[in-house]
């Protein structure tokens, strides 16, 4: 085995996205994955939110996902739909696409980028010193790397071995979920009772005029809320049959399970995302109830925040302290998701008072301003990293504007395909001088005369220049001069001469 600069434990959505980001930045990276192939036992995530589609668009691969999924208005808070079709985004919608397809498409991309995936072996431990990490594998081999990233899911061995605490809350709700065959026609759709939400639907579906239309045949996806949370053994067909009978009075002749699994509202977040040369991302760093469909999206965006920073530190163009901004930026984003999922679980309780509260919340969300705010939160479009105070664009996602350049029209996101930072000069030619960083940052002179609009915020003043990080977030805004630009370039992309 070679000596990669970065080893990623786990090739789920987070690990794959991170590998792609590092490979694009020219970093030698390898994934260690327990599974023999990308096949996934269980469908898990049902799709992507608007911001994740934008992030994939920034890499030029959104079309691969859009071609296979179903576009729909999927954002919701505790069952109240939140339409985002009026949001200023090129993708003002979500995408229904099962996680096994999302992972397959990501794995194909990572394969094109020639990232090795060492399959059918596990990371079993590691030892770190001043110069790197030695990663032990279940086949007796080891890998030496400068950094190890644990993208190894909620039960992360990397997190545990690093001694990182995982504080939070034990489960109050537990669901069985499965793909099975039925001999009888069931009650399709969802049912809510005193115990919680249950549902049956075919795995294959289409969205027509905003309605989910299930196929006439094929496996059925079943979800039942269990009477008691807290079981810790693997669920069986017998458990599922009993749970169905206790809710529906019948198990609809359930047989031939493709997979059966359990998920809960256990809510926990890693106290630290970093321990020296070891970092955590995705479910390894945070777990919560899947309401709102946010977990996979969060992991992909962790990866996109970490990838370019880790690449710069590995290439020694930025100091190691840049990695601390990964935790500063991403920990609060996940903490907010944990909070909103806990609130949604609480609102789903079936007692009369909670039902009344839920109706009041739903009524509030039907008002314009709350709808906009919550929709921007649930679709991931309102993320703002805490950079300097100033123009509202600072720390927020760059909109995918249609620019006019000397080489013709182009979209802002097309400038980010190679995951390199961009200084966009929208004033007179030569207004921005980034010469000392020209080896790292691309300068683009362009015209843009259209509106500047941000989701939930509305119109903002047109800047004369912006510095866009590889993850698509704005690191500096020019308002008539280049004041502050050299500082922002140094903070995010390292000092002009490599003096590290």
How far apart are CB 463 and ligand FAD at their closest, in Å?
32
Q: From CA 350, how far away is CA 489, in angstroms rounded? A: 53
The mark string for 209-248 relative to ligand FAD (x by CB under 6 A, - otherwise) is ----------------------------------------
Asked if 318 touches ligand FAD (CB under 6 A), the answer is no
Its sign, for the CA torsion 149, 152, 154, 156, is negative
From 28, 35, 436, 453, residue interacting with ligand FAD (rule: CB under 6 A):
35
Binding to ligand FAD in span 56-95, by CB under 6 A? none
User: Toward ligand FAD, which CB reaches closer, 143 or 401?
Assistant: 143
User: Toward ligand FAD, which CB reaches closer, 300 or 446?
Assistant: 300
Q: From CA 347, how far away is CA 359, in angstroms rounded? A: 9
User: Toward ligand FAD, which CB reaches closer, 39 or 130?
Assistant: 39
Asked if 293 touches ligand FAD (CB under 6 A), the answer is yes
Nearest residue to 163 (alpha-carbon basis) of 275, 267, 268:
275
How far apart are CB 353 and ligand FAD at their closest, in Å?
28
Cβ pair 399, 473 in contact under 8 A: no
Q: Given the structure tokens 């030029």, which residue do they identify?
A: 60
How far apart are CB 189 and ligand FAD at their closest, in Å?
17
From 5, 7, 8, 11, residue interacting with ligand FAD (rule: CB under 6 A):
11
**Judged by CB under 6 A, how many residues of this single chain contact ligand FAD?**
33
How far apart are CB 49 and ligand FAD at their closest, in Å?
7
From 69, 94, 153, 196, residue interacting with ligand FAD (rule: CB under 6 A):
153
Binding to ligand FAD in span 410-439, by CB under 6 A? none
The mark string for 99-138 relative to ligand FAD (x by CB under 6 A, - otherwise) is x----------------------xx---------------
From 4, 5, 10, 58, residue interacting with ligand FAD (rule: CB under 6 A):
10
From 5, 84, 161, 296, residue interacting with ligand FAD (rule: CB under 6 A):
296
How far apart are CB 192 and ligand FAD at their closest, in Å?
17
Nearest residue to 296 (alpha-carbon basis) of 482, 94, 37, 445:
94
From 4, 12, 92, 472, residue interacting with ligand FAD (rule: CB under 6 A):
12
Asked if 482 touches ligand FAD (CB under 6 A), the answer is no
Asked if 344 touches ligand FAD (CB under 6 A), the answer is no
Asked if 14 touches ligand FAD (CB under 6 A), the answer is yes
Q: Which stretch binds ligand FAD (CB under 6 A): 85-93, 146-154, 405-413, 455-463?
A: 146-154
Q: Given the structure tokens 């249609």, which residue do they identify?
A: 402
Nearest residue to 304 (alpha-carbon basis) of 96, 37, 4, 15:
15
Please report, as ranges, the residues that interact with ligand FAD according to CB under 6 A. 9-15, 32-35, 44-47, 99, 122-123, 151-153, 157, 177, 263, 282-283, 290, 293-297, 299
């Amino acid at each position: 085995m070679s000596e990669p600069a970065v080893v990623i434990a786990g090739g789920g959505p987070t690990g794959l996205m991170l590998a792609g980001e590092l490979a694009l930045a020219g970093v030698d990276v390898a994934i260690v994955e327990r599974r023999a192939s990308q096949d996934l036992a269980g469908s898990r995530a049902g799709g992507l939110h608007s911001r994740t589609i934008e992030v994939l668009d920034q890499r030029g691969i959104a079309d691969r996902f859009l071609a296979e999924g179903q576009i729909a208005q999927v954002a919701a808070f505790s069952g109240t739909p939140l339409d985002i079709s009026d949001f200023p985004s090129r993708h003002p919608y979500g995408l229904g696409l099962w996680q096994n397809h999302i992972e397959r498409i990501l794995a194909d991309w990572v394969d094109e980028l020639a990232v090795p995936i060492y399959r059918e072996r596990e990371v079993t431990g590691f030892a770190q010193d001043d110069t790197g990490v030695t990663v032990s594998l279940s086949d007796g081999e080891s890998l030496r790397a400068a950094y190890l990233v644990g993208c190894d899911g909620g039960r992360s061995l990397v997190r545990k071995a690093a001694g990182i605490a995982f504080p939070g809350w034990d489960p109050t709700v537990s669901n069985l979920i499965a793909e099975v065959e039925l001999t009888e026609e069931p009650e399709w759709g969802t049912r809510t009772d005193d115990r919680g939400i249950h549902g049956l639907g075919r795995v294959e579906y289409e969205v027509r005029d905003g309605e989910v239309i299930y196929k006439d045949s094929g496996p059925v996806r079943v979800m039942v809320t269990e009477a008691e949370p807290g079981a810790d053994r693997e669920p069986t067909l017998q458990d599922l049959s009993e749970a169905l009978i206790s809710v529906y009075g019948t198990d609809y002749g359930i047989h031939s399970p493709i997979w059966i699994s359990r998920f809960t509202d256990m809510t926990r977040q890693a106290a630290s995302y970093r321990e020296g040369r070891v970092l955590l991302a995705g479910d390894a760093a945070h777990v919560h109830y899947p309401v709102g469909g946010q977990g996979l999206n969060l992991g992909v965006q962790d990866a996109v925040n970490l990838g370019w920073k880790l690449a710069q530190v590995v290439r020694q163009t930025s100091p190691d302290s840049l990695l601390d901004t990964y935790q500063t930026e991403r920990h609060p984003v996940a903490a907010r998701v944990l909070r909103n999922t806990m609130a949604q679980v609480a609102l789903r309780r079936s007692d009369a008072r909670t039902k009344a509260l839920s109706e009041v919340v739903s009524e509030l969300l039907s008002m314009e301003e709350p709808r906009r705010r919550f929709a921007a939160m649930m679709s991931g479009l309102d993320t703002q990293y805490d950079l300097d105070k100033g123009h509202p664009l600072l720390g927020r996602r760059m909109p995918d504007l249609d620019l006019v350049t000397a080489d013709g029209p182009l979209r802002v996101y097309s400038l980010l395909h190679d995951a390199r930072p961009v200084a966009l000069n929208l004033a007179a030619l030569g207004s921005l001088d980034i010469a000392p960083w020209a080896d790292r940052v691309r300068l683009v002179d362009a015209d843009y005369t259209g509106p500047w609009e941000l989701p939930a915020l509305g119109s903002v003043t047109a800047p004369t220049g912006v510095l866009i990080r590889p993850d698509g977030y704005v690191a500096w805004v020019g308002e008539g001069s280049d004041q502050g630009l050299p500082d922002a370039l140094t903070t995010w992309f390292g000092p002009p001469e490599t003096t590290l």
